[in-house]
A and B are shown apart, each in its own frame.
Chain A
């Protein structure tokens, strides 16, 4: 192995792959087979980048040669950058050697489109196949579904990969037309649909025949770029909801647009990455998937955008004060989950804890409830509660004030979700 040459390629092809934010390696259940190498599904983050993102997979492009010219992409044909291509065996060796040293959970392989979508997809599959069949590698493999790839290839891909993804990138069809004129919306949808149908077929078959082979056990995901085309938060979240529902997506990722081009159709170089907005969208996504909210409760024609200074749950609560205050010792899980400052972990603790005694402020605090937010929305076993008849803007002001004291950098730094 010529390490210097590999290093050069790795630098180019990891650099080009980093804008894909997905790094999940969980949700599969692949076991170590015949004393081979690896297993999948633990979702371990082996390290974190200096921008604070989980590193769990070796995330690279097979090549950054591309016949397309999507404006938002560094790999686009017209961009004057160094190009490189890995050989199939090189990717296999890198993956195995990184994995054996406990650096990674597996491989995330994407690619620029060279020659044709099918030709590209074939090469991606060849890597996965080699890893599984020749190396008995049972770690995680995420393959990119190349837009426009044939159904046959998408079928084969799912036999070796744990996850497949097509990035929709631009949340609106009009935006896509503007920025990627030579790509068709259907090209994205077709592989997604094929994968979805196969996942359903396989899981039906498994119900009857236990030993049915695996097909993309960690499902599929997609990504949207945020802030490249002037779309609203409503556009993004409605589109995400559509993908969750109709394509059985495991995850939708939101990626704040990082300016990489002087193209006048896009935000100029040096404009700030909308990180806070990205975080608010993830929080919203969380509310939809785990907290029982539906999208129109949070965003609609009158409120097409999230508020940046408060999280979406607090935003919803302030617009719906008629549901509050909630009695901590009586309310059901669904309502508890809607209280600002109370995460799912606390909901479970409250429900188990209150079986033994009525809970007071002290108990809630120990359970990790963020009382500075929650206190305006609840009553508990205490005579001491918020009696003033406060309106939404007053409450918001007081909460913001209490936060400003404590976490000055809340808006720029805090990328965590709810506590």
Chain B
């Protein structure tokens, strides 16, 4: 019986793929893959620490990619969901994908496929939300700065969108939950981590970090938001469904509502 064993990886996507590789190597039917620091091992399970190995990760990546392009996207998106036991589910998904029982990434009548698809879909939705809900504020040293607190780790997914769109301004998008951010310096996007003493939500109080004009524009935007509402058609339920309350604190137009 070697089927219950916990593989502990460093939390990176490449680390996870390395763990998948090791799981395959050891012919584990079921792999309990867990992030370092979040280990919840049973009393009698054996653990093995995985050292991220780019070459091994690459081999898994290529193996999956050869099978299906949509599967590779689903795996990456679902991985970023950070859900409990997502790793084990992904391991099963990859097994199916590589094994003979596999029928296709579009087999919507298979449970495991459906679950991964729906996880990936949720992460995709969060990606879109962040592309919409990021609110930059202009600092005195001319960086457009935004804080976000997404449900899933979507920064890697939105980088390209913002780089393409805001090519002529420096910007930072910072994930306050995961404590890292993206910084575009007009050339490339880098991953940064900041010591934020003050989380710059769009609060009513002004911060000395931002320009005076910044607050004028926020004010104009709030005004615009208000005057564009048609009073005789108010539909709060629909409004909240589209703009869930947990995002409000970062949206300048919802400043007063928070």
- The answer to whether B233 touches A258, judged by C-beta atoms less than 8 angstroms apart, is yes
In the complex, whether A115 has a CB less than 8 A from a CB of chain B is no
Of B104, B146, B221, B234, the residue contacting A352 (CB under 8 A) is B104
Chain B count of residues within 8 A CB distance of the other chain: 53
Contact B243 A102 (CB under 8 A): no
List the A side residues contacting B106 at CB < 8 Å.
352-353
Q: Which of A19, A58, A353 contacts B107 (CB 8 A)?
A: A353
CB <8 Å contact, A10 and B108: no
Q: Are A356 and B109 in contact (CB under 8 A)?
A: yes
Given A36-B167, A44-B132, A413-B235 contact (CB < 8 Å): yes
B228 contact from A39, A49, A101, A409, Cβ within 8 A: A49
Look across to chain A and name the residue whose beta carbon is closest to the beta carbon of B167.
A35
> What residues of B have a CB within 8 angstroms of the CB of A46 in the complex?
132-133
A67 within 8 A of partner (CB): no
Which one of A92-100, A119-127, A155-163 is at the B interface? A92-100
Check: A201 CB closer than 8 A to any chain B CB. Answer: no
On chain A, the number of residues with a Cβ less than 8 Å from chain B's Cβ atoms is: 60
Residue of A nearest to B187 (CB): A35
> What chain A residues lie within 8 Å of B241 (beta carbons)?
52
Contact with B along A1-43 (1 / 0, CB 8 A): 1010011001100110111000000000001100111110010
Docked-complex contact A101 and B109, CB < 8 angstroms: no
* In the assembled complex, B166 has its CB within 8 A of some CB on chain A: yes
CB of A39 within 8 A of CB of B165, answer: yes
Contacts of B132 in A (CB 8 A): 44-47
**B51 in the interface (beta carbon within 8 A):** no
Please report the C-alpha to C-alpha distance between residue A367 and residue B114 in the assembled complex, in whole angstroms: 9
Instruction: Determine if B199 is an interface residue (Cβ-Cβ < 8 Å).
Output: no
A304 to B168, CA, bound (A): 54
| CB-based contact A102/B136 at 8 Å | yes
Indicate if A387 sits at the interface (CB-CB under 8 A).
no
- Closest Cβ–Cβ distance, residue A40 to chain B (whole Å): 10
Tell me the complex Cα distance, A100–B162, Å: 11
B97 to chain A, nearest CB (A): 14
Q: Are B136 and A100 in contact (CB under 8 A)?
A: yes
Interface of A is mostly: loop
Q: Restricting to A398-419, which residues have a CB under 8 Å from any CB of B?
A: 409, 413, 415
CB 8 Å contact bits of B225-242 with A (1 = contact, 0 = none)? 101111111111111011
Of residues 103 through 147 on chain B, the ones whose CB sits less than 8 Å from some CB of chain A are: 103-104, 106-110, 114, 128, 131-138, 144, 146
Partner of A50, one of B144, B213, B217, B239: B239
A359 at the interface (CB under 8 A from B): yes
The answer to whether B109 touches A273, judged by C-beta atoms less than 8 angstroms apart, is no
Contacts of B220 in A (CB 8 A): 3, 6-7, 10, 94, 98
Q: How far is the CB of B144 from chain A (nearest CB, A)?
A: 6
Chain B residues whose CB sits within 8 angstroms of the CB of A273 once the complex forms: 230, 232-233
Given A36-B167, A36-B168, are A45 and B242 also a contact pair (CB < 8 Å)?
yes
Question: Quick one: closest A residue to B242, CB to CB?
Answer: A48
Contacting pair B225 A47 (CB below 8 A): yes
Contact B228 A59 (CB under 8 A): yes
Among B146, B167, B217, B224, residue most surrounded by chain A Cβ atoms (within 10 Å): B224
User: A363 and B109: CB pair below 8 A?
Assistant: yes
Task: Determine the chain B residues whose CB is within 8 A of the CB of A349 once the complex forms.
Answer: 108
List, in ascending order, chain B residues with CB within 8 A of A415's CB.
235, 238
- Say yes or no: is B66 at the interface (Cβ < 8 Å to chain A): no
Q: A54 to B253, alpha carbons, bound, how many Å?
A: 14
- Cβ distance A97 to chain B, nearest Cβ, rounded Å: 5
User: Do the beta carbons of B225 and A100 come within 8 Å of each other?
Assistant: no
- CB contacts (< 8 Å) of A55 on chain B: these are 225, 228
The reply on B190 being an interface residue by CB < 8 A is no
Give the CA-CA distance A37 to B166 in the complex, in Å.
6
- Chain B residues, Cβ within 8 Å of A32: 164-165, 167
CB-CB under 8 A for A366 and B114, given A38-B165, A352-B107: yes
> Can you sample 8 A-B contacts with CB below 8 Å?
A14-B224, A32-B164, A44-B132, A48-B243, A52-B233, A52-B238, A258-B233, A273-B230
Residues of B whose CB lies within 8 Å of any CB of A are 103-104, 106-110, 114, 128, 131-138, 144, 146, 161, 164-169, 213, 216-217, 219-221, 223-225, 227-239, 241-243, 251, 253
Lowest 10 CB-CB distances: which A-B pairs, in order? A52-B238, A51-B233, A352-B106, A48-B242, A353-B108, A52-B235, A14-B227, A3-B216, A15-B227, A35-B167
Interface residues of A (CB under 8 A from B): 1, 3, 6-7, 10-11, 14-15, 17-19, 31-32, 35-39, 42, 44-55, 58-59, 94, 97-98, 100-103, 136, 256, 258-259, 273, 275, 349, 352-357, 359, 363, 366-367, 409, 413, 415
Contacts A98-B221, A366-B108 known; 7 new A-B pairs at CB < 8 A? A3-B216, A42-B161, A47-B225, A53-B230, A273-B233, A355-B103, A359-B109
